[in-house]
Amino acid sequence: MEKLFLCLFGFMLTQHCFMASLAMRITNSSTDESALLALKASLNLNPDHVLSINWSSSLSFCNWIGVTCGIHQRRVRVLNLSDMGLSGTIPPQLGNLSFLVELYLHNNSFHGHLPWDLLRLHRLKRLNLSYNGFSGEIPNGIGRLSMLQHLSFRNNNFSGSIPPSISNLSVLQTLDWNFNLITRSIPPEIGQLRRLKILRIAHNKLSGAIPPTISNISSLELLSLPGNSLSGMYLQTKDMLKKKKVKQMYGLL
């Protein structure tokens, strides 16, 4: 930012400044490798675990198990470490995988908070962290992941409220936050998710009224809300949703 500011005033230095601010932002394949190694270091791995053996620098990281790189660039596009019996935390360096499109860590024993840096993964389309022990608040900046299509945090210990910035997730089709500790009311902004087909926020600690804006989601096919302390508008919402042809509804009786 400072450099950019200077650039606006330093005409003679324009090109130099441009190069300098670019260099600060640029990540490359060696950044990807160090991000993966930072993740490896934050796991409690047994020496005989497949990752301990396979993720070694004798092999290009694009050939590491669970890692898929792009065809033209040696940058990580998919990281799939699901069902691997992993325990540990997500290091902030994972946010340096700037070409990442799909991240699957489901069914492991990850714990701790999601680092803010993950919100830098602006190309992310699929994020599945379900069946882990993650805790802490769902980051308010989640709306920055504006390419997200499928998002599952199911079966964790996420707390805090549903951030209104989710309204920014304009291509989101699946939101599954079942079985967490999410509190407060459902923000009316949820009605702006116009591509949403599946909305599961059952078995949390939600309270307040179901916002009528939910019936604005014309693409909605499944809505699951039981196991909360939601109140009011049940029948009204149900009638509206029926008119919108929502096929499956749970927790609205």
Ligand X SMILES: *[C@@H]1O[C@H](CO)[C@@H](O)[C@H](O)[C@H]1NC(C)=O
For residues 107 and 147, give the distance between their C-alpha atoms in angstroms, rounded to a whole number: 24
Taking CB under 6 A as the binding criterion, the range among 7-15, 29-37, 219-227, 242-250 that sits at the site for ligand X is 29-37
**Of 77 and 144, which has the nearer Cβ to ligand X?**
144
Half-sphere exposure in the Cβ direction for 226 (13 Å, CA): 6
**Of 163 and 251, which has the nearer Cβ to ligand X?**
163
131 forms part of the interface with ligand X (CB under 6 A): yes
Q: Where are the beta strands (DSSP E) in the chain?
A: 67-69, 76-80, 87-88, 102-104, 109-112, 126-128, 133-137, 150-152, 157-159, 174-176, 183-184, 198-200, 205-209, 222-224, 229-231, 248-250
Alpha-carbon distance values, 230 to 163, 173, 183, 190, 235 (Å): 17, 23, 11, 15, 13
For residues 237 and 233, give the distance between their C-alpha atoms in angstroms, rounded to a whole number: 6
83 forms part of the interface with ligand X (CB under 6 A): yes
226 forms part of the interface with ligand X (CB under 6 A): no
Choice from 62, 123, 213, 244 touching ligand X (CB under 6 A): 213
**Contact, 110 vs 135, CB < 8 A?**
no
Number of residues near ligand X (by CB under 6 A): 44
Taking CB under 6 A as the binding criterion, the range among 4-12, 79-87, 222-230, 243-251 that sits at the site for ligand X is 79-87
User: What's the min distance (Å) between Cβ of 90 and ligand X?
Assistant: 11
73 forms part of the interface with ligand X (CB under 6 A): no
Nearest partner of 56 among 73, 33, 35, judged by Cα = 33
178 forms part of the interface with ligand X (CB under 6 A): no
61 forms part of the interface with ligand X (CB under 6 A): no
Choice from 42, 98, 152, 237 touching ligand X (CB under 6 A): 152
**Of 215 and 228, which has the nearer Cβ to ligand X?**
215
User: What's the min distance (Å) between Cβ of 134 and ligand X?
Assistant: 8
| DSSP 8-state assignment for residue 43 | B
Taking CB under 6 A as the binding criterion, the range among 2-10, 101-109, 199-207, 226-234 that sits at the site for ligand X is 101-109
